[in-house]
Amino acid sequence: MSSYDYDYLVIGGGSGGIASAKRAASYGKKVAVIEKARLGGTCVNVGCVPKKVMWSAATVADTLKHDAHHYGFSGGVEAASTLDWPKLKAARDAYVLRLNGIYASGFTKAGVEDIRGEATFVDANTVEVKAEDGSIKTVTSDKILVATGGRPHIPAGDGVAENVISSDGFFDLEELPKVAVVVGAGYIAVELAGVLNSLGTEVHLVVRKAKALRDFDPMISDALDTEMIKAGVHIHRNTGGISKIEVGEDGKKQVTTVSGDTLYGADVVLMAPGRIPNVEYLNLDKAGVELSHKNHITVDEYSNTSADNIYALGDVCGKVELTPMAIAAGRRLADRLFGPEKYKNAKVSYDLVPTVVFTHPTIGTIGLTEPKAVDKYGAESVKVYTSKFADSHYGIFQVDPENKPKTHMKVICAGEEEKVVGIHVIGKGSDEMMQGFGVALKMGATKADLDSCIAIHPTAGEELVTMGTWGTSPPFSGAKDSPLNGAPPSEPTLKSRI
């Protein structure tokens, strides 16, 4: 019998921690999760889930304002102006609350104990938990996972901290602001700027340098910049960030940038310059867990920390900060620690992770950008295919073709076999088409493999399998069973019935 209270103790009830805990419990282990806030972590409560609700609402507004009359419907602009923000917020919050309950009932079904409170390490096997009522209890575990996630970073500045909201605070807004200043150049900033703009707010996006999403492929960042301007977002460039925020007698905020520019009349200033890991209260030094220079927990490819029995994953580690990545890492860690022999070396890959940015229009991307592909393989070994077109949705619009929203696509190939090392799309439907192409890249697809798949017409996705002079790429396949030159699909291996 174990001398510890638990076989596996998970600190953090977000998506990654919950997934790992439930997988460990499925192997018959005694498992508990410690969480001080609502179950589900950032994604469920103040991230992906409520953000997608707001993006969907904004997309409805855009359709009413810009598309409906082209299809013979009248009154769209007027309808878009009737948004009942409190009703939308109540429905969204109820949805999130329902998900919180699903997570809680999932613990019960899986046999995972739910411990409420803030966790602090006493030593490598002992954790002190302080409940909301101030009571303290101590628990021990053979193995411990830290999956505490991250939180929005609010930079220093005169009057900044007390006069801004973070991306978390966005979901607490009781009404749609008339004027909003959004500070940041990452995906959170551009997503929320797009939502507010589409719903009717005057939006000012403040970026430190020349444009947003600078780490994305230049085609993506440039195209988004163009679309945001066309949509009416005011972009303030090369500002160096925010230095000061003052509040006038009318309650409006005056925002001063490091470069000296001043923005007047803001109802809301939303800071989204980045996120930082939740580690301060954990006392990780008492457990022998090392941190990086950015305060992320240092881990290897197997989620091992510097302490033999302590593991970490998700945003607290700063590696591919995406919910599905944390879920996969959590499950694989539990497989390796508690599963059968076949999982003794189980781990996840942080390479070729598809991701979507819910901007207006959406962005889907996987793999290397063009500059990174050139840096890695050399310009002479990289071939790039691109396409720019108006989606068929806009075909009947009676406007100048140049003014129709554009979809931009790029397929980046490397080597003699033209192995696909990156796909980048911005435009209508890119969020839904990227998952399948992600599978193709994970399996080693070449340009010829893409060409071998017959296009689905009429769709935007067909453009990704018809780029260039179709069917003329080098005849190499990344598939185990090549689909090239009309080859039939392979058959599955069946169990013998004898």
> Which residues are identified as catalytic?
457
Sign of CA dihedral 27, 28, 29, 32: positive
DSSP string, 42-62: HHHHHSHHHHHHHHHHHHHHH
Q: Which residues contact 186 (CB under 8 A, 6 or more apart)?
A: 212, 213, 272, 273, 274
Q: Cα(245)–Cα(154) distance, rounded to whole angstroms?
A: 13
- What are 420's two structure tokens? 């696909």
Sign of CA dihedral 398, 400, 402, 403: negative
Give the Å distances, CA to CA, from 491 to 246, 481, 494.
68, 10, 9
Q: Regarding beta strands 179-183 and 202-206, do their DSSP bridges make them parallel or antiparallel, or are they unpaired?
A: parallel
Whether residue 361 is preceded by a cis peptide bond, meaning omega within 30 degrees of 0, is: yes
- Find where tokens 């209508």 sit: 428
Closest to 346 (Cα-Cα) out of 355, 334, 360: 334
**Residue ranges with strand state E in 352-485:** 355-357, 363-367, 382-390, 406-414, 419-426
Q: Cα(399)–Cα(356) distance, rounded to whole angstroms?
A: 29
Q: Which amino acid is at 380?
A: E
Q: Specify burial of residue 66 (Cβ count, 10 A radius: 0-12, 13-18, 19+).
A: middle
**Which three-class secondary structure string do you get for 261-312?**
CEEEEECEEEECCCEEECCHHHCHHHHCCCECCCCCECCCCCCECCCCCEEE
66: which DSSP letter?
I
Vertex 158: Cα angle to 180 and 207 (nearest 5): 45
